[in-house]
Structure 1
Amino acid sequence: MVTTPDKSSTEAYRSMLGVEKYLTRCSIEKPLRELIKLRVSQINGCAYCIDMHWKDARADGETEQRLYGLPAWRESPYYSEREQVGLQLAEELTRVADRSVPDDIHELARKQFNPQELSDLAWIVAAINAWNRVNIALRTAPGDYQPPLAAR
């Protein structure tokens, strides 16, 4: 039997919640934040975070069509130009170990997002990548998460 450590009792976990608290009021609109968290979690294969952010997005009114089309967002007409650029930057930052983010992606991002928004996007991507790694490492089981009542 695998025993999962209680991540909620650690100081690091509480610090990450502080980052999340900031991100809930940052300059990036909530629907885009959830799309980015879901897409990065799909790339990283974090079942717990996929379950969580799918449910959060649905509770906030996101459509099933946009959610199930997310892995193919480049070929789907359901996403605004701003969302497409945000998703592209998120994917590039998630895969930054494989290559640097191309200059043309940075230029596209600067046209869609102001400096504060770019900073907030980077923090959103960094945070969800960290959450993915912690949940995968601790083998956090998906399925039981329920969105907060305020999101419904």
Structure 2
Amino acid sequence: MERITYQDIPDGMFENLRKIESFISSSTLEFKLLEIIRLRVAQKNGCAYCVDMHHKELKEVNETDLRLSSLCVWQEAPYFTEKEKVALTFTEVLTDLSEKPIPDQVYTPLLNFFSKEEICFLTLAIAQINTWTRLMKTFQFTPGNYKVAH
């Protein structure tokens, strides 16, 4: 049961978060990569609602079942590209923040695949999905209800 319903959410809260989503979508980062990152953060944060959502979004863009089921063990799976692995490493470090700065061995490989502008968007996208997962875990929206917009 939801603790906080959609109707309980303050006016403008989700609308402003969606503006950030639109801003991220305007970047040159591929939708599929962003969704892989979002799904991985949802898995790491244990957010069933967001796992459901981003799994469905990836299925809509023809992501394979093999890659979807292996995302939780991506480091061991041979079918993620080097670019995806670099982005996923950054995603996990940024999601599991410690009191230390992001290490150079995590940041520097990003420069092989992403411009500094794209790294900014990537950082924002990771921060944004972490925000969404924390909201959904608090509000307890019911997983399984998400419908992909066509």
Structure 1 residues 40 and 4: alpha-carbon distance in aligned structure 2, compared to 1, 3 A threshold: same
Superposition pairs for residues 15-54 of structure 1, below 5 Å?
15-54=16-55
Structure 1 residues 20 and 2: alpha-carbon distance in aligned structure 2, compared to 1, 3 A threshold: closer
Distance 1:62 1:119 in 2: 25
Distance 2:105 2:135 in 1: 32
Q: TM-score, normalised by structure 1?
A: 0.91
Look up the match of 1:110: 111
Structure 1 residues 9 and 100: alpha-carbon distance in aligned structure 2, compared to 1, 3 A threshold: same
Write out per-residue CA displacement over residues 50-87 of structure 1, whole angstroms, 9 at most, x where no aligned residue.
Answer: 00000000001111111110011111011110010001
Distance 1:73 1:46 in 2: 18
Q: TM-score, normalised by structure 2?
A: 0.93
Aligned length: 149
% of aligned pairs identical? 33
Look up the match of 2:141: 140
Structure 1 stretch 47-56 or stretch 5-14: which is displaced more? 5-14
Q: Does the CA contact (< 8 Å) of 1:8 and 1:14 recur in 2? A: no
Q: Does the CA contact (< 8 Å) of 1:37 and 1:128 recur in 2? A: yes
Superposition pairs for residues 65-76 of structure 1, below 5 Å?
65-76=66-77
Shift of 1:111: 1.8
Unaligned runs of 5+ in 1: none
The list of structure 1 runs, each at least 4 consecutive aligned residues, that deviate by more than 4 angstroms after superposition, is none
Look up the match of 2:5: 5
> With CA pairs under 8 Å and 6+ residues apart, which has the higher RCO, 1 or 2?
2
Aligned residue for 1:69, secondary structure, equals helix
Unaligned runs of 5+ in 2: none
Q: Does the CA contact (< 8 Å) of 2:2 and 2:139 recur in 1? A: no
Distance 1:27 1:87 in 2: 17
Q: Does the CA contact (< 8 Å) of 1:27 and 1:116 recur in 2? A: no
Distance 1:11 1:62 in 2: 33
